[in-house]
Structure 1
Amino acid sequence: MTATSPRPARLFRPALIVFLLLAFGLRAYHLDFQSLWSDEGISLLRSSQPLGAMWQAMPVEHVPGYFTLLHFWIGLTGESDYALRFFSLWPSVLALALTYLLAADLASARIGLIAVALLATNGFQVWYGQEARMYSWLLAGGLLSTWLFWRLLFQERTGRRTGLAVAYALATAATVYFHYFGFLIPMAHAVVAGGWLVVERRWRGILPWMMGGLLAFLLFLPWLSRAWQVLHFTGWREPLDPMNVPWMMWTAYTVGDTMPAPLVSYLPWLYLVLAVVGIGVWMHQRRAAGWFLLAMVAVPVLAILALVLRNPDFHVRYTIFLSSVAILLASGGVEGFHLASGQRWWGRGLSWLVAGSLIAANGVALQRLYYDTSLHKPDFRSAARYIEAHERPGDVILVDGPNPDIIFAHYYRGAAPVYDLRFLEEANFEEVDRALTDITAGMERAWELLLFRQPGPIQMWLATRGWAAAPTYHNDIRVSLYGLPGTAMERRTLNLPFGSELELAEVEVSATSLKPGDMLRISTHWRVLAQAPNYKFSLRLADPTGQPLANWDYVPQNWFAPTHVWVVGSMATDQHALIVPAELAPGRYQVTLRLYDPASGAAVSTPAGQDVLLAEVEVSR
């Protein structure tokens, strides 16, 4: 057994402080750059309630610890995005300090320092250190409980064990109050304690641990009757193959979701090799420490496999406390180069070269986390700001997605009424028609937010009853503006053939005297002469020379009525809208329409050319 001596451990402290400051900086950087998303909105909405009401209304799958603490936090700091997320930042950094303390007490402060460096830059850790949820608290609570458990079993000064037992009880109860999966921590401790008792046959640390465990149970007892109900919670996620869960967890904890290819495929295997070597290193440093870390991984993973077989509602963040143990094992493998060299300078250099390479790879993942918008959360903030900037009297907002009170209302400061359409989730078209006709009565325009839903009857109603303008996208949130019926339209007969399959019979346009920001409604009515290909429409606003200034390419009726399904011998209609650009100079402009084959880009020929004039409009300030 060769534990790190106190003197080298003291020399590591300046480096530890540097890595902790680095961790703080990486988590504080862009902390409020992204919008809150739905889960974070739930945190805010729930924590804003009076405590009694919050506890009473707590859903079965949640425990109240994090929300209770956040309730007091927002009372002090307010509800800004930065304040909400900062509450998760500091336990994420605290978890790194606890990882170091655990490693130093186990056997090696040097391995602990390597682990802190890797965790400080780990994309998975930074992501959840920047999210207004309970997971960084679950991580810190689990590590604190585990560190105190180790000290209870191996603390030489018997007089301090009572205090440690009380602290252990508080940390363990808090961990389970943060998340139900926190119960895996005391479960693993119980297995370790049982093994320790069998091997060592000593009760010196067992009795204080049992006292602390009993106190933790008593602290959780008030919530126990509610906790039993979670056994009947079926969740909402797709079923998981239990055999894939361990590797899914390992990949998440070592490289995260933001590591780019091909590193995301190779690095988990490198971490696994390092962890296998690390087990041997920990065993060499202190056999009990090696077995302890193995048990702290194996027991929760086996329990998770059993739980997933019963209920597939699992996510790797639920067991975030395992991530530090996984990195401690891999860090032991990194230190193995140093030990294998007989602790010579070149071995130490090789260890830090490997660690530096892993940190550099983490940096690549962090760059994607910060700047790759495809990885970012749904942007409710920009969606709300966009609507605020363009809304007008007579507008209504329809939210087809999560409860708008959860997060949209946190950002939206406009005057338009907001309607939650979740009650229409299972409705048929007739039910949607009745509901939306009532909601939009007397309104001129409707904003639609679509998130976590496929277009359905609601979108079909809007497309066929209204005039859809080009949507904007805000990280998976589609914001569409529709003109509603009631505006006077001017009708003009054209009877203009488009190829041999279609004939544009009539066109209707709303007022042709417009201002920047106004909506121009356009309806086209078609005779279907023969089976048409799947054409796309290109509606354009052009200058007097025909040069396009704004355009929107789409499938008729906002993608609900493609031309290849139009019935031969019948009439078909398309309704769309153009928004006059805010920067458009006063003057006279043309509105034209082109049909084209999306596969080849070839425009459909007409006697009037490729771009058919639908209307001329006058734009003034």
Structure 2
Amino acid sequence: MNTELTEARKPPPQPYDEQNEDVSPEVPRQSALSFPWVFLLFVAFRWLTLLLLRPGGFIRDWSDFDTFLGFASLSDYGLYPFVHYWLEWPPILPWVAVGAYQLSSQLPAWTDDPRLWFVLTLGSVYVLFEAGNLTLIYLISKRLYRTERRNIPVLRPVWFYALLFVPLYTMLGFFDAVALFFLLLALYLTLREQLVRSAIATGVGFMVKLIPLIFLPVAVRQLWSLAADRRAGLRDGMLYAVSVALAVLALAAPFLLRQPVWLLAMLRSLLGRSSWETIWAVMESYYGFGVVAGNRLDAAESAFAVHATTLPWLLIALLFFALYVIIWVQRADYAQPRNVVALTGFTVTFFLLYSKGYSPQFLIYLLPFIVLLFPNRRGVVYSLLLTVLNVLEQPIYFVLVPDAHQLLLGIVVARWLILGTLTLEFASVIWESTLRRLAPVRRYAPVALSALIGIGLLISLPEAAQSYVQRQLREEPAAPLIGYLSTQQARAQANLLVLSDHALLARFKPYLHDIYTVRVLGGANLPPEAPNRALEGALGEVTQLWFVTQQAGETSVSIPAELGNTLVRYDFVNNYQLLLLARRGGSAPPPLARFANGVDLIGSEVEKGADHSVEVTLYWWAVAPPAQSYTVFTHVLNETGHFIAGHDSFPGNGQTPTHTWRRGHVYADQHTVTLPLNLPYGRYIVVTGMYDYDLRRVQAYQSDGSPYRDSAIPIRELNLP
């Protein structure tokens, strides 16, 4: 058979139409969703999210809605923003918040959450502007991607933005979507050569939040590029700047005419606030979030910083300004919409690199330019990396592990590297031929940054987990009891811990599961007829066990016979009782020391602390409550017994003096011993004891009845520093 002839007679293949692809011959052709349908889905999703979800989820429900509600409620007393007090934001949104509050207060408050109507009223404004942001991204995308294939790839940036987490989270609690709208509007109007309207949008955006003003140099650069000569470019740029200033002045006029001091206080707060959540903040050893200090009711306020400023900010600002000007004057074809969008993205990124402060919601100003210029896998990687860093910063770091400073340092450095890479990406769009040599860097940057952040996360996880555990333990009502059970003295008595009720499991198991076998005696979760297989299996050949219960008063604890007899009982704060039970034989454990004043030292914990210190925790048992207040000394001695450093105070740093102790109760007593900075390396001994008002040490005895030398009990030897 002549296959060539046969193939030649075949009809030519039909062009592939991905818009009207059939699923099967029986299914009629259907066109892709057009923008109005995407817009409808977007608005419905955003508004229903506002109604039914809360920012922070299960971790912490907090947002700027709470802040805005606080100052908006002052209007009930006749106090209004920038008329009677200043704020760190320009006036427009605070006044919108006041209007939303007054409108929402016309409805009865919802019982479960009185904020409901205020959040829905003000939040609906945010939804409106978020819908505007999606529309502007679509319109700008049409300018960038003109194609005969309907809606492709014009809708790709639209879907990309709609699926991002950060814009949704920002809308649920912050007003940055409003400021972003005016930034995008100014850009879109510039692309349409409606420069006066663009300038007005920039000015209005500045009165919402200052960031939209960074579009001013972009517009001026485009005008200068398109002008017939430099004089015309300078004239057009000046006209644009004047139009922006007039728009700002028109909106600020009511406040300037009435009380200009409040607007001036706002401007001073922007210049005087300290750094936060940036590379500059960690260089100044600040690991907190952005806070503006000062009395909002004082128009002459000048103390806005929350930490000392140690960096030469004027020099830093001049260096960044000079670098931006050098890049700004480089020749480029700004008649192309893609280059104007890229210059805007570059300017936003460059500003974030320079900015003294950063808040997670600031990312919303950058993401539209990523989705517009890189609606591909590169853009997805950059967006996801920045989103992950945002979530790690807030709420993971600031809420769950605020002491894990290395985590914040890693987040800040990683974000700075990504922003630096994005400046290169945006610059490569504008000056592609000039920066062609850097193409390999751009090609592998997403993979390298992903690997770097992934490795950093793995390294920081142990510290973050430890920070979380320690933070929760500090806030745990049963912390003294948990601390005692963690001591070597308690662990030596038993390795089984039985809790009287299932409700206690969440308090004790997370901290003690790697030390003890933890079991539950009973609780509401266990049906009366059901056997307790876990406890039965754990008892086995156990001879002694610790038993924990919680009950008010001095009533005796009911112990099931199968658990054994009580050898000793310790009462702790918050009505916790700890009992050592013996199933066969056994005797009460001897204390570390018995004091002549009726106090026993039953446990201790000594650890190296930060900044040349030793952390000591002592557990005192008031067998017979002392009649007077005794001072506890905790000393560090060298191998020859000479004093090196110490800490003397009443127990609990004076909060629990011995004359207030109750019989049978155990008191956790923490001491921090600061060591000399020039301490030579060696073996040192930590000792403790008590003395009275006359500085006479209370005699302390060992378990065999022999006295301790100098009434000082050695509790730990360790190598220092």
- Pair in the same fold by TM > 0.5: no
Bigger radius of gyration among the two: 2
Higher RCO (Cα < 8 Å, 6 or more apart): 1
TM-score bracket for the superposition, by shorter chain length = 0.3 to 0.5
Tell me the TM-score normalised to structure 1 length. Answer: 0.44
